[in-house]
């Protein structure tokens, strides 16, 4: 209980993207190596996510959709070192109230699977034995229908919502090496693939799967370079002693003309493999790029690795904004690294 009270609460802000994101994160947390995302009608009809993870044991069925029920942290101090995406126990309880939710799962301890139906309050109303592979499927139908105003808005903005959702899905596809993703959208009888990866071992191969090899040719690997004394000074960094060890991994468009893009649509940032929207980091990347190529924005996939204790992921409910200790040092390093890379390439 103590844990529950100390986690800042507040409803998960739900949109199509956050719904899909929460379910994909649950699958990854369950150790899935294959994740299938099936939408019908851009998610207006049905959203179904199936994984081959460890499944849910029967003793957890009742509590699955209770607010703040999580199987992922034991005590508050665990929060400082969480390695899973989820830890608030809010997604499934919120989704129950906002859609018709069904879960079917088979845990490794069971020979049969179970199909679970929940009502809007999150009460388990029906269980039925089924035959299925190990793992879990979560099915949402009629997202936002319980709140007509929100449903209307969702329908009206579906194009934009769908595009945002694809961007988030692409982020998880890119960063999840060793996991096979397959995501489709069906409209009437037409099924279209919206993202896929084939269980590659490297970020590079995931980029090729998601965006094609042609695109990969104009990308440069990002290598970390320590900032010079002048750069440190311009970022007002005085004591170098305490700076954290930091590693950069990723790729960025070369700055030669035609290698970039006309918008920031293909920018993916990760901190310790967690997809996020780090505003200042993104601004710096675009600013440095603009010094070499004024007319375009880079394609960038950047994973920043920092010691866990210097990242606070418990900032916004969707965990997309992270607080970073020593952010200035990170920005200085990033600037030094990108400048050094681009300076070698004629603009
Ligand atoms: P959180 O992820 O923060 O723990 P959620 O509401 O997203 O909370 O999920 C509640 C619980 O349901 C999880 O802690 C986990 O035990 C279980 N769960 C949800 N989805 C899956 C899944 N795909 N595979 C296995 N367990 C799952
Ligand atoms: Mg979760």
pLDDT digits over 124-182, tens only? Answer: 999 999 999 999 999 999 999 998 999 999 999 999 999 999 999 999 999 999 999 99
* pLDDT at site 10: 39
Domain range annotation of the chain: 2-209, 218-343
Q: Is residue 243's pLDDT more than 60?
A: yes
Note residues around ion ligand 2 (Cβ under 5 angstroms).
26, 86, 91
* pLDDT at site 316: 61
Q: 242: closest CA among 256, 255, 252, 232?
A: 232
Q: Is residue 324's pLDDT more than 80?
A: no
Q: Is residue 288's pLDDT more than 90?
A: yes
Domain covering 2-209, topology = Heat Shock Protein 90 (3.30.565)
Q: Is residue 79's pLDDT more than 60?
A: no
**ipTM > 0.85, yes or no:** yes
Of 42-56, 80-94, 247-261, the one with minimum mean pLDDT is 80-94
For residue 118, what are the β-bridge partners? Answer: 124
- Summarize the confidence of residues 104-115 as an average pLDDT: 96
Give 5's pLDDT tier (boundaries 50, 70, 90).
very low
User: Residue 202 CB: number of other CB atoms within 10 A?
Assistant: 10
E-assigned strand segments in the chain:
34-40, 46-51, 100-106, 113-118, 124-130, 135-141, 180-187, 190-198, 219-221, 247-253, 267-271, 274-276, 300-305, 311-312, 323-324
Domain covering 218-343, topology = Ribosomal Protein S5; domain 2 (3.30.230)
Residue of the CA atom closest to atom 19 of ligand 1: 26
* pLDDT at site 104: 96
Give 39's pLDDT tier (boundaries 50, 70, 90).
very high
344: tokens are 């070698």
Residue of the CA atom closest to atom 7 of ligand 1: 91
- Whether 2-209 and 218-343 share one fold: the answer is no
Instruction: Determine what percent of the chain is predicted with pLDDT higher than 70.
Output: 84
* pLDDT at site 315: 55
The span from the CA of 169 to the CA of 195, in Å, is 7
The reported pTM is 0.90
User: Is the CB of 301 within 6 Å of ligand 1?
Assistant: no
- Summarize the confidence of residues 285-309 as an average pLDDT: 92
Best residue for ligand 1 mutational test, from 14, 29, 34, 79 (most atoms within 8 Å of Cβ): 29
Backbone phi, psi, residue 192, to 5°: -120, 140
Tell which wins on pLDDT, 22 or 311. 22
Place of tokens 């190596």: 33
Nearest-ligand number for the alpha carbon of 49: 1
Query: Measured in angstroms, how far is the CA atom of residue 201 from the centroid of ligand 2?
Result: 25
- Summarize the confidence of residues 298-321 as an average pLDDT: 76
């Amino acid at each position: 209980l103590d844990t529950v009270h100390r986690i800042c609460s507040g409803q998960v802000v739900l949109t199509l993207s956050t719904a899909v994101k929460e379910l994909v994160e649950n699958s990854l947390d369950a150790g899935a190596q294959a994740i299938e995302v099936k939408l019908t009608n851009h998610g207006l009809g049905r959203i179904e996510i199936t994984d081959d993870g460890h499944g849910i044991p029967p003793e957890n069925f009742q509590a699955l959709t209770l607010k703040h029920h999580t199987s992922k942290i034991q005590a508050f101090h665990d929060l400082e070192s969480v390695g899973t995406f989820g830890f608030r126990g809010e997604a499934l309880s919120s989704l129950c109230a906002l859609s018709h939710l069904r879960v079917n799962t088979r845990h490794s301890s069971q020979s049969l699977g179970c199909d679970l139906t929940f009502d809007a309050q999150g009460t388990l109303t029906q269980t039925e034995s089924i035959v299925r592979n190990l793992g879990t499927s979560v099915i949402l139908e009629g997202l936002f229908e319980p709140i007509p105003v929100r449903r209307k808005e969702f329908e009206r903005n579906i194009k934009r919502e769908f595009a945002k959702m694809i961007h988030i899905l692409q982020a998880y596809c890119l960063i999840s090496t060793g996991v096979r993703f397959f995501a489709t959208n069906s409209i009437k009888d037409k099924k279209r693939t919206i993202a896929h990866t084939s269980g590659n071992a490297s970020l590079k191969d995931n980029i090729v799967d998601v965006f094609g090899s042609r695109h990969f040719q104009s990308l440069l690997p990002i290598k970390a370079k320590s900032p010079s004394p002048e750069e440190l000074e311009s970022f007002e960094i005085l004591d170098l002693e305490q700076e954290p060890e930091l590693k950069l991994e990723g790729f960025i468009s070369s700055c030669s003309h035609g290698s970039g893009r006309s918008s920031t649509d293909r920018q993916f940032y990760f901190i310790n493999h967690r997809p996020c929207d780090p505003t200042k980091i993104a601004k710096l990347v675009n600013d440095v790029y603009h010094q070499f190529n004024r007319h375009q924005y880079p394609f960038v996939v950047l994973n920043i690795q920092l010691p866990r204790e210097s990242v606070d992921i418990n900032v916004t409910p969707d965990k997309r904004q992270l607080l970073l200790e020593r952010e200035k040092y990170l920005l200085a390093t990033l600037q030094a690294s990108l400048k050094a890379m681009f300076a070698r390439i004629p603009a």
